[in-house]
């Protein structure tokens, strides 16, 4: 008998589940594994960045201001909320505020801020 192994179904079977069993990956999804190996960097051919806004369903957009502050704004088309998003490698993206010219960065404490240096998100 096959049982669903997701966390949401009531028919979940934990008795016969094998933690080493490979889970099928949906089509179009590439698994990303880094088991203590050196970070693999594979260049991705992207001719240019695409202009996007990071939008949350709560109505907030991420904005990078020239003062290096990153804040949420409810103004949907704020010039500070327009970002250049570019894939720079396998599992890596670069985000830069179009108006401020600053890259999106994160501190060791998890705080977002604007940075002049070119940074990647993994």
**Rounded Cα gap, residues 2 and 13, in angstroms:** 9
pLDDT digits (tens, 9 = 90+) for 65-115: 999 999 999 987 889 999 998 887 788 888 999 999 999 998 889 999 999
**Rounded Cα gap, residues 12 and 6, in angstroms:** 7
50-52 and 112-115 strand pairing: unpaired
Q: Is the pLDDT of residue 37 over 50?
A: no
Output the pLDDT for position 48.
65
- Percentage of residues in the chain having pLDDT higher than 70: 57
Residue 78 token pair: 């704020």
Output the pLDDT for position 122.
52
Q: Tell me the domain boundaries of the chain.
A: 50-115
Verdict on whether the full-model pTM lies above 0.85: no
Check if CATH label 3.40.50.300 holds for domain 50-115. Answer: no
* pLDDT category of residue 2 using cuts at 50, 70 and 90: very low
Output the pLDDT for position 56.
87
Region 45-53 average pLDDT: 71
Residue 57 token pair: 């369903």
């Amino acid at each position: 008998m096959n049982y669903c192994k997701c966390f949401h179904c009531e028919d979940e079977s934990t008795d016969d589940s094998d933690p080493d069993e490979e889970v099928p990956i949906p089509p179009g999804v590439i698994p990303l594994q880094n088991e203590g190996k050196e970070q693999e960097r594979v260049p991705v051919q992207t001719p240019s960045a695409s202009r996007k806004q990071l939008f949350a369903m709560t109505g907030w957009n991420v904005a990078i201001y020239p003062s290096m502050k990153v804040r949420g704004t409810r103004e949907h088309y704020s010039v500070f909320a327009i970002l250049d998003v570019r894939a720079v490698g396998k599992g890596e993206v670069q985000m830069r505020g179009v108006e401020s010219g600053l890259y999106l960065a994160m501190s060791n404490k998890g705080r977002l801020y604007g940075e002049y240096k070119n940074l990647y998100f993994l």
